[in-house]
Amino acid sequence: MTGALLISFLALMMTGIPVAIAMAGASLVYILLSGASPPMVVVHRMISGIDSFPLLAVPFFILAGNLMNNAGITNRIYNFALALVGWMKGGLGHVNIIGSVIFAGMSGTAIADAAGLGTIEIKAMRDHGYAKEFAVGVTAASATLGPIIPPSLPFVIYGMVANVSIGQLFLAGIVPGLVMTVLMMLTVAYFAHKNGWGADIKFVWSRLLKAILELGIVIGVPLAVWGAATLGANPVVATIGAVVLLFAADWKFKFEAVLPIMTPVLLIGGMTTGLFTPTEGAVAAVIWALFLGLVWYRTLTLRMLAKVSMETIETTATVLFIVAAASIFGWLLTATRVTDMVSAWVLSFTHSPWVFLLLVNLLLLFVGCFLEPTAAILIAVPVLMPVVTQLGIDPVHFGLVVVLNLMIGLLHPPMGMVLFVLARVANMSLERTTMAIVPWLVPLIGSLLLITYIPAISLWLPRLWYH
Amino acid sequence: MIRPPSSADTVVPGDGTSAPVIDAEGHFHATDAPIDFSHYLLEDWLALAFFWLLGLNVFYQFFTRYVLNDSAAWTEEIARYLLIATVFVGIAPAVRRTRHIHVDFVYRLIPARAGRAMSTLVDIGRVVFFAVATGLTVEMMTRMGNYKMTVIDLPVNIVYGVCALGFLAAAIRSVQTGVENWRRGFSLLERPEHAIEETV
C-alpha cells in the first residue's frame, strides 16, 4: 500500500498528463482508497501549499529576467560580449558563452536561452560561416549556465524544499559557474585551433579597454560599497550613493552594459548582506529592470510589459501548480513513510557519501533527460534529503550537484528535452543535433565531476562570507 | 524552463530574417518580435489583473519598509492571496496552450495507435481532475462558512472562490482542448514539434 502512491504517480506521469495532476491525482486516489482523510484535504493542501511569503520570490525572479529579455538590452549585452571576447579566435563561440553567463545573471530561468536567445546566437554564428553543429553545440552547452549562476529559479525551489538558505545557494553557484565558463571557453579555443578559425571582429584596443573598464566597474562598485561599510559608513547610504554615481557615470560615458549587468550584483549583494530577503531582492531586481526599460533606456513599452507579464504568469502558474501538488503529495509520502523506506534502502548498501553522490549523478542525469528541472527537484529532493543528512553531505553542495545534473540531463543524448528543441530551432535532424552536442559533454561532465567531488568549489565562497 | 519557441520569444534575429545579426562594425542588431494579444482570452486578462495587483501591492510593501521603515501587516497577507489567485487562474491558459510541465518521451517509444489511445485518456483524465478539484473546492467552501482572513476582516472564501473559479475555467478549457485534439486526430503529446511549427 505504501509503495502504491509512488508507483501510481510515476505511472500517471509517464502517460503525459501534467506532472502536477499526476501528483495530486495519485494523492486523491490514495486518500479515496485508504479513507484516512476527507478528499477535500487534497485541494486544501494544494492551496495552502503556495500560501507562503517566500514563494513570492518566484514570480518576481521570473519577471526580472523576462524584463531584460528585450532587443534593447540584448543588443547591449551582446555588444559588450563582442567587445570583450569577439576578437579571440572562434570569437562568436566565446561571445555565445559570455552572453549566456550575463543572461544567467539576470534571469532565473535562462534556458529559454536554448530556444529564444538560441535562435539569435545560432543565426549570428551562421552569418559568420560557423558550422551549424558548432553553433548548436555551444548554444546548448552554455544554456546550462543559466540556473547555476545566480539568480536561479531551481535554487529557489531547492532552497525551499531542502530548507537551505537561498542566499548561500546563490553564492555557492558563482565559482562553479566560472569553472564551467572556463572549461567551455577552452573547448571553443580547442575547436578554433583545430579548425584554424580566425577572429570575428577586428581587434580594436579602445573597444576592448572600454569593455574591461565596464567589467571593472561592475566588480568595483560592490567592493567599494563593502569597503565603505566596513570603514563605518551607513550601508544603505553608501549603496544609494554608489547607485547615483553609477547613473551619473552612465549618462556621461554612455556605457554599453554596466547597468544591466549590475542587476545580479545588487540582488546578491543585497541578499547576502541581509539587506533583502530573497523576495525583496527579486522585487528590487524588477524595480531596477523596470527603471532601465521604461525610464533610462526607454526600450520597453507598455504593450511589451503586458506581454512579458503574460509570460511570467504562465511560467509562475505552471511551476507553482507543481509546488501546490507537491505539497499534498509530499505530505502523503512522509505520512506513509515512503521517504524512510527509500533512505533505509539506500543506506543498506552504501554508507559512503562518494558512492551515494555517484549514484545521484547517474539517477539525476537520467531523470533530467525527460523531466523539467523544477519538477524534478520537487519530486526527487524530498526523497533524497534524509540520506543526504545521514551521510553528512552539505545540503548547499548537494543543491549544486542536483541542479547541474538536471541541467546536463536536459541535453544529454539520446533523449534530453533540449535536443529536440534545438533540432527544431536549427532545422537539423536529431542525429545531427546529437552529434553536435556530444563534444560539449566533455566540459559539462568534467565540470560535474569537479563540482561533485570537490565540495570546496561550491562551498568556498558561502563559507568565506557567512563565517 | 525549456520550452519550444513560441509567442514567448520577445527577441528575434535582425529586422526580418535575411539581414546579418552582426553588422560590419561588429554591433549586434536583434529586434523585438511583433506583439500579438489576440490569442489571450478572458482568463489570461484576469490572471494579469491579479498579477499586476500583486506587483503594486509588493512594491507598496517594499516602499513602506525601506522608505517609511514601517511595513503594513495587511500587505503581506494580501500578497499571499494574490499569488494564489494568479496561480490558480493562470492554470487554465496553460491548459489551453498545453504548456503545463509534462513528460512525453514515452510517445516516441510506442506505436502511433497506442499513443493516440493514451493521449485520449490523458485528455479525459485532465477534464476529470479539474472537475473533481472544482467540486472539492466548493465543498471546502461550504465547510469554511464564515471564516475570516487573519489580518483583514474579510471572508477567506473569497480566496477559495477564486481558486474554484480557476479550476472550473481549467476544466472548461480541458474539454475544449480535448475536443480539438479529437477533431484534428492528434495532441501535442504525440507531436510536440507541432507547437514549434506553428510559430517558426
Residue B117 with chain A: CB contacts under 8 Å: none
According to DSSP, residue A54 is labeled G
Distances (CA, A) of A286 to A59, A350, B192: 10, 46, 33
Which residues touch B115 (CB under 8 Å, ≥6 apart)?
B107, B189, B190
How far, in Å, CA of A145 to CA of A173, rounded? 10
d(CA A268, CA A24): 35
Nearest to B32 among A42, A70, A417 (CB): A70
| pTM of the model as a whole | 0.91
Under a CB-based contact definition with an 8 Å cutoff, are residues A137 and A439 in contact? Answer: yes
The rounded distance, in Å, linking the Cα atoms of A209 and A199 is 17
Closest-CA distance, B183 to chain A, in angstroms, reads 19
Task: Find which of A243-247, A426-430, B70-74 is predicted with most confidence, using mean pLDDT.
Answer: A243-247
Q: What is the pLDDT of residue A388?
A: 94
Nearest chain A residue to B91 by CA: give it. Answer: A317
DSSP state of B11: E
Does residue A79 have a pLDDT over 50? yes
Query: pLDDT value at position A11?
Result: 94
Q: Identify the band that residue B4 occupies on the pLDDT scale cut at 50, 70 and 90.
A: very low
Q: Which residues contact A33 (CB under 8 A, 6 or more apart)?
A: none
- Contact (CB<8Å) A18/B62: no
Residue positions counted in chain B: 200
Q: Which residues in chain B have Cβ-Cβ distances shorter than 8 Å to A78?
A: 28, 30
Among A246, A214, A237, which residue's Cα sits nearest to residue A102?
Answer: A214
> For residues A60 and A280, is the Cβ–Cβ distance under 8 A?
no
Residues B15-53 have pLDDT tens digits of 445 677 888 777 888 887 788 888 899 999 999 999 999
Do the chains contact at B21 and A123, CB–CB below 8 Å?
yes
Chain A environment of B105 (Cβ under 8 Å): 369-370, 415
**From the list B9, B21, B90, which residue is nearest A314 (CB)?**
B90
Each residue's pLDDT tens digit, A239-270: 888 889 999 999 998 898 899 988 888 888 88
A94: closest CA among A3, A32, A171, A187? Answer: A187
pLDDT at position A343 over 50: yes
Q: What residues in A contact B40, CB-CB < 8 Å? A: 310
Residue A71's pLDDT band (cuts 50, 70, 90): confident
Q: Is B73 exposed, middle or buried (0-12, 13-18, 19+ CB in 10 A)?
A: exposed
**Is the Cβ pair A120, B11 closer than 8 Å?**
yes
- Average of pLDDT values for A286-296? 92
Of A445, A440, A431, A407, the C-alpha closest to A104 is A407
Q: How open is the CA angle A188-A193-A195, to the nearest 5 degrees? A: 95
% of chain A beyond a pLDDT of 70: 97
What is the DSSP annotation of A194-261? Answer: HHT---SS---HHHHHHHHHHHHHHHHHHHHHHHHHHTT--HHHHHHHHHHHHHHHHHHH--SSHHHH
Q: Considering only the beta carbons, identify the residue of A39, A313, A321 that sits closest to B47.
A: A313
Q: Is A46 exposed, middle or buried (0-12, 13-18, 19+ CB in 10 A)?
A: buried
Chain mean position to CA B156: 23
The amino acid at A396: V
- CB proximity A170 to B under 8 Å: no
CA distances from A409 to A359, A361, A400 (A): 14, 10, 14
Give the pLDDT mean for B113-140: 96
Contacts of B108 in chain A (CB under 8 A): 415
Closest Cβ–Cβ partner in A115, A124, A369 for B22: A124
Whole-number Å distance between alpha carbons of B196 and B37: 19
8 Å CB contact of B136 and A40 = yes
Distances (CA, A) of A100 to A121, A402, A432, A435, B127: 10, 20, 23, 22, 40
A9 interfacial to chain B (CB closer than 8 Å): no
Cell 572562434: give the residue.
Answer: A90
Is the CB of A313 less than 8 angstroms away from the CB of B28? no
Using a CB-CB distance cutoff of 8 angstroms, which residues of chain A are in contact with residue B160? Answer: 47
Whether residue B196 and residue A424 make contact (CB cut-off 8 A), yes or no, is yes
C-beta of residue A215 within 8 angstroms of C-beta of residue A84: yes
DSSP letter at B21?
S
Q: CA dihedral defined by A35, A37, A40, A43, rounded to 10 degrees?
A: -110
Q: For residue B135, what is the nearest residue in chain A, using CA coordinates?
A: A40
HSE toward the beta carbon, residue B56, CA cutoff 13 A: 6
Give the distance from residue B184's alpha carbon to the nearest chain A alpha carbon, in angstroms. Answer: 19
User: What is d(CA B185, CA B180) in angstroms, rounded to the nearest whole number?
Assistant: 8
Closest CA of chain B from A71, distance in Å: 5
State residue A383 phi and psi, 5-degree precision.
-75, -40
Report the residue from A286, A322, A425 with minimal CB separation from B101.
A322
Residue A187: the pLDDT is 96
**A299 touches A194 (CB < 8 A):** no
Mean per-residue pLDDT of chain A: 88
Q: How far apart are CA B181 and CA A82, in angstroms?
A: 46
SS3 A57: helix
What 3-state DSSP class applies to B33?
coil
A98 shares contact with chain B (CB less than 8 Å): no
Q: Position A137: which residue type?
A: G
**Cell, residue A311:** 509570460
Whether pLDDT at B200 is above 50: no
User: CA of B179, closest CA in chain A: separation in Å?
Assistant: 16
Query: What are A196-221's pLDDT values in tens digits?
Result: 898 888 888 999 999 999 999 999 98
Half-sphere exposure of A117 (CA within 13 A, CB side): 36
In this structure, what C-alpha cell is assigned to residue A413? 543524448
- Give residue A178's pLDDT: 94
Cβ neighbours for B174, distance < 8 A, ≥ 6 positions apart = B95, B123, B126, B127, B130
CB within 8 Å of chain B, chain A residues 418-447: 418, 420-421, 424-425
Contact A287 B163 (CB under 8 A): no
Residue with cell 524512510: A340
* Residue in B2, B25, B199 to test binding to A, most A beta-carbons within 10 Å: B2
CB contact under 8 A, A307 and B35: yes
Taking CB atoms and an 8 Å limit, are A124 and B13 in contact across chains? yes
Q: How many CB atoms sit inside 10 A of residue B100's CB?
A: 21
Instruction: Verify whether the Cβ–Cβ distance B101 to A314 is below 8 Å.
Output: no
Is residue B111 pLDDT above 60, yes or no? yes
Residue-wise pLDDT tens digits, B142-198: 998 888 888 888 888 999 999 999 999 999 999 999 999 999 999 988 887 776 555
How far B32 CA lies from chain A's nearest CA (Å)? 5
User: Nearest CA to CA, how far is B129 from chain A (Å)?
Assistant: 7
Q: Please name every residue paired with B28 in a beta bridge, in sequence order, or none if there are none.
A: B22
Q: What is the DSSP letter of B28?
A: B
Contacts of A10 in chain B (CB under 8 A): none
Does A306 contact chain B (CB < 8 Å)? yes
Interface of A with B in 353-392 (CB under 8 A): 369-372, 374-375
The pLDDT of residue B58 is above 70: yes
